[in-house]
Chains A and B, each alone.
Chain A
Amino acid sequence: MVDAVQDQDDFIPPAEVAEMELYHPKSWLTKYVFSQDAKVIAIQYSFTAIAIGLVALVLSWMMRLQLGFPETFSFIEAEDYYQFITMHGMIMVIYLLTALFLGGFGNYLIPLMVGARDMVFPYMNMLSYWVYLLAVLVLLASFFVPGGPTGAGWTLYPPQAILPGTPGAEGGIVMMLVSLALFIVGFTMGGLNYVVTVLQARTRGMTLMRMPLTIWGIFMATVLALLAFPALFVGAVMMTLDSLLGTSFFMPDIAQFGEQLKYSGGSPILFQHLFWFFGHPEVYIVALPAFGIVSDLISVHARRHIFGYRLMVWAIVIIGALSFIVWAHHMYVSGMNPWFGFFFATTTLIIAIPTAIKVYNWVLTLWRGNIQFTVPMLFALAFIVTFVNGGITGLFLGNVVVDVPLSDTMFVVAHFHMVMGVAPLMVVFGAIYHWFPKMTGRLLNVPMGQIHFWVTFIGAYAIFLPLHYLGFLGVPRRYYELSDISFIPDSAQDLNAFVTVIALIVGAAQILFLYNIGRSMIKGEKSGPNPWRATSLEWQTPQTPPGHGNFGQDLPVVYRWAYAYGLPDATEDYVPQNLPPDQITSDYDNSKLSKPIAQAAE
């Protein structure tokens, strides 16, 4: 593709960037419900994602109750347990994390941070949310069909997923597949918006390399999602046909209950390839926005420019590209040519390099920074530790010889919960504490935030470190209960009971968090437009929360990157991206940006 700006050094575009036609809502309904404003859509996405995430949280409690205290709860049968693990996994990975990072933070932050009035296709953006909501409702409805939701495990491997004997084979599995297909359709509508907005709708002066890393992370994750979700879509369509029409895309010749089934000649492994061709990039769809956001949190709260910005951007791009050629490391035990195993183990080790570079750069950003231990910063620091922890066990599992004995044990469960459960959630929490003042104009309560942080952080380790150990003992994942397995000592059960108690406590801490959000929205301390004294554009809006169109009369003009902290000559220790160069020193008092009264809105 040709480039926008011709190679003319003297070329300066007209002072007015072509303004997009902004849709102006006329009624309450089009302003707050069927809204085309990315900020409203973001909040709709976030609330829906968090609501369905709470369902998954309750499901995890049920699983832990069963594992910790087997044969105690009569309302948890083996079938229920399979349904709980399946729905918990699918909801957390796709309907919570993907939707929250891209639909929630993506929608809110992209237009604000790149200096646009809105997404480029607002109507499609609105549809994106409503299709997502429909997908969530279909998923919830599967709890109420005969046979209940699917219990095939979150990977939905055929042939068992659609055969009698697996819970939900009657209808739940089809609901699940339809819901996934809907989610993908909805996401694609949103994803096209995010990518085109980042590429084509930035304000003047916001070059690609001046974008905050948050935007880079969300942007690359969206590109990954656009290219990876089709694999899941194809798999879902084909499995739906297998289930409803009796085709044999994934179904081999198979006998069940002594009876030859009508299926013949399909390949279950084909589904695994399709699933993981989506499934591995999915890890990075969740991780890359987290990488980006955490970079910004660390920079802002350590009052220091991000170390190695350019390398950080390239690492995001390289990780994104590599994430498409590692998928079969999820399939070592499915049987494959040893050379394939060698190839995928090697790529898995290689992808650790750009990831490690990012970790080093975060640490080097902190080095000699003026670290403020605000709540967002605590969560950001917790992310680094947790991500390293989970990433290193990933290197173990990426090697065929280590993976084979550990496969399908609790070690795997502990690994992926650390690396793509706890770590991204730390960023989600940090990001909410960080941007809540911009969304509402009020600060979250700090003591409550600190309690929330410490219980969640220590609790997460108390839950998942023991699971690594259980995995070493050989405790299998997905088992309803452990009874009389000779190689597993009885003390494993005590550990399981301990984990369950901690899990209930950590869950309760999330209720405190939700209470904090609700209370602070109404009674929280006024934050002013820029409480963290940050440089990026979303903090420089004339109104807090930002009004319709984000930036008032004129779009901001960007003069520098988003990491201008502690410049030697500047009056303040931060210089906003849109502050003209002649106002950095002396005469311009940019501290007035931080005063609450500067809010034109109120």
Chain B
Amino acid sequence: MNLFRQLMEKPWLTDEGAVVEIRSGRTFALPREKLGLRLFLAVVMVIFSLMVAAYIERKVFSDWHSVPLPWILWLNTVILVLSSLAMHRAWSHARRGEMGGVRSWLSAGGFFAIAFLVGQLLAWRELVATGHYAAVDPSNAFFYMLTAVHGVHLIGGLVAWGRTIAKVRRGYGVVLVRMSVELCTIYWHFLLLIWLVLFVLMLLT
């Protein structure tokens, strides 16, 4: 029974039927937390889509000068990929119930994420040092804003990651941790995807 069929019901007919349909009150076969995360990702997706739309809309004008991208962004990209991979390993360990693996890979994922954020700050410093302030050029302004908003989302992810790792360190069983690890992993992959899109857009001139 899909969503469309649920919306096709005629509640006034089944009213006094001899057989009362008793269903569990769920629309989708998803845990609540996962559906909540998906909705949140949809909201974040709208934010980034609108920013990217504004970015592209501005970029097509002839007076656009692309910001010189610091080389460290390549390194940061690799680090973020590593971070995502580490989270994925943590998740596969969690599925198999191996808490030792979860612990080390989760730590690695968070470490790489923090390294990515530091790298982004270094990129900012390099731009500032060469006089590419936000107000100088629209391209600079978009660069700072997009990286900052992406970074803030990653920091939010690190809060969730911190709570997860605290649970792991306190020795919670795999049943209590599995969902948290999975949600973190989904979020990490999502932010990696966003970053790749942003990075490619910045590379295109």
Contact = CB atoms under 8 A, between A and B. Distances in A.
Interface of A: 1-5, 7, 12-13, 17-18, 114-116, 120-121, 188, 192-193, 195-196, 199-210, 226-227, 230-231, 233-234, 237-238, 241, 245-249, 262, 265-267, 270, 274, 277, 305, 309-310, 313-314, 317, 557, 559-561, 563-564, 567, 581, 584
Contacts of A188: 40, 43
Contact of A231 (B35, B46, B61): B46
Given A17-B25, A199-B27, A207-B6, A581 B20 contact: yes
B43 A227 contact: yes
B65 to A, nearest CB: 10
Interface string B4-48: 001111111011111011111111111010011001101100110
A196 B32 contact: yes
A4 B20 CA distance: 18
B134 A208 contact: no
A570 to B, nearest CB: 9
Nearest to A120: B32
Contact of A230 (B25, B32, B43): B43
A317 B1 CA distance: 19
Given A230-B47, A265-B61, A584-B16, A204 B23 contact: yes
B21 A205 contact: yes
B57 A5 contact: no
A209 B15 contact: no
Interface residues of B, number: 48
A249 B42 contact: no
6 contacts: A2-B28, A4-B28, A5-B26, A188-B40, A233-B47, A245-B135
B149 interface: yes
A262 B15 contact: no
Contact of A120 (B9, B28, B36): B36
B36 A192 contact: yes
Contacts of A2: 28-30
Given A200-B35, A241-B134, A266-B138, A564 B15 contact: yes
A114 B135 CA distance: 51
B128 interface: no
Contacts of B10: 209, 310
A485 B17 CA distance: 70
Interface centre among B32, B40, B134, by most A CB within 10 Å? B32
A226 B63 contact: no
A114 B11 contact: no
B50 interface: yes
A17 B29 contact: no
B173 to A, nearest CB: 16
Contacts of B6: 207-209
B128 to A, nearest CB: 12
Nearest to A277: B50
A241 B24 contact: no
A121 to B, nearest CB: 6
Contacts of A114: 25
Given A17-B24, A313-B7, A241 B39 contact: no
Nearest to B54: A270
Contacts of A262: 135
Given A207-B23, A270-B57, A248 B50 contact: no
B25 to A, nearest CB: 3
Nearest to A116: B25
Nearest to B26: A4
A8 to B, nearest CB: 10
B138 A309 contact: no
B23 A248 contact: no
Cβ-closest 6 pairs across A and B: A202-B25, A246-B135, A561-B11, A247-B141, A4-B26, A209-B9
A209 B134 contact: no
B73 interface: no
B67 to A, nearest CB: 13
B94 to A, nearest CB: 21
Given A227-B42, A249-B141, A314 B15 contact: no
Contacts of B29: 1-4
Nearest to A231: B50
A248 B28 contact: no
B58 interface: yes
A514 B176 CA distance: 48
B23 A246 contact: no
B114 interface: no
Given A1-B30, A199-B28, 11 more contacts: A3-B1, A3-B3, A200-B26, A207-B9, A207-B21, A208-B9, A226-B42, A227-B46, A245-B141, A265-B58, A265-B138
Contacts of A18: 24
Contacts of A563: 12
B12 A305 contact: yes
B95 to A, nearest CB: 19
B50 A208 contact: no
Contacts of A265: 58, 61, 63, 138
B2 interface: yes
A199 B138 contact: no
Nearest to B18: A581
Given A199-B35, A207-B23, A226 B43 contact: yes
A206 B25 contact: yes
Contacts of A227: 42-43, 46
A33 to B, nearest CB: 24
A199 B26 contact: yes
A237 to B, nearest CB: 7
B199 to A, nearest CB: 20
A18 B141 CA distance: 50
A317 B4 CA distance: 12
Given A200-B28, A207-B11, A209-B7, A230 B50 contact: yes
A12 B20 CA distance: 10
B127 to A, nearest CB: 14
Contact of B26 (A202, A205, A567, A584): A202
B145 interface: yes
A200 to B, nearest CB: 5
A76 B20 CA distance: 65
Interface in B147-176: 149
A246 B57 contact: no
Contacts of B57: 267, 270
B85 interface: no
A277 B1 CA distance: 34
Contacts of B134: 241, 245-247
Contact of A241 (B12, B17, B141): B141
B51 interface: yes
Contacts of B58: 249, 265-267, 270
B11 A238 contact: no
A207 B21 CA distance: 9
Nearest to A233: B47
Contacts of A584: 16
B141 A204 contact: no
A399 to B, nearest CB: 28
